[in-house]
Amino acid sequence: MPELPEVETIVNDLKKVLPGLKIRDVWTDLKKLPKNIKKEVVGRKILKVERRGKNILIHLDKSLTLLVHQKMTGHLLYGKWQKKNGAWQSAIPGPLRDPENRFIHLIFFLSNGWQLALCDMRKFAKVVILATEKIPEEFRNIGPDPFDKGLSFVEFKKIVRGKSGKIKIVLMDQSVIAGIGNIYSDEILWLAGVHPLKPAQKLKEEEIKNIYKAIKQILNKAIKARGSSYIDYRDAFGRKGNYQKMHYAYQQTGKKCKKKDNGIIKKIRIAGRSAHFCPTHQKL
Partner DNA sequence: TGCAGTGTTGCTTC
Partner DNA sequence: CGAAGCAACACTGC
Q: Return the active site residues.
A: 2-3, 54, 273
DSSP 20-42: T-BEEEEEE--SSS-TTHHHHHT
Q: Which of residues 81-110 bind DNA (CB under 7 A)?
A: 99, 103
Helix (H) or strand (E) holding 209: helix 205-224
Site for DNA in 126-145 (CB under 7 A): 141
Counting contacts by CB under 7 A, is residue 202 touching DNA? no
| 271 binding DNA? (CB under 7 A) | yes
- Residue 164 interacting with DNA (CB under 7 A): yes
| Euclidean distance between CA atoms 242 and 226, whole angstroms | 6
Please count the other Cβ atoms lying within 10 Å of the Cβ belonging to residue 262: 10
Decide if residue 274 touches DNA (CB under 7 A): yes
Judged by CB under 7 A, does residue 121 bind DNA? yes
Nearer to DNA, 42 or 268 (CB): 268
Residue 53 found at the interface with DNA (CB under 7 A): yes
Q: Which stretch binds DNA (CB under 7 A): 44-52, 86-94, 106-114, 265-273?
A: 265-273
CB 61 within 8 A of CB 129: no
Closest CA to 160 of 206, 203, 210, 214: 203
By CB under 7 A, name the one of 3, 8, 40, 187 that touches DNA: 3
181 near DNA, rule: CB under 7 A: yes
Q: Name the strand (E) or helix (H) holding 77.
A: strand 74-79
Q: Does 10 bind DNA (CB under 7 A)?
A: no
Count CB neighbours of 126 within 10 A.
Answer: 13
CA angle at residue 202 from 197 to 204, to 5 degrees? 110
Residues that bind DNA in the complex, under the rule CB under 7 A: 1, 3, 31-32, 53-54, 69, 71-72, 99, 103, 121-124, 141, 164-165, 172, 174, 181-183, 250-251, 271-274
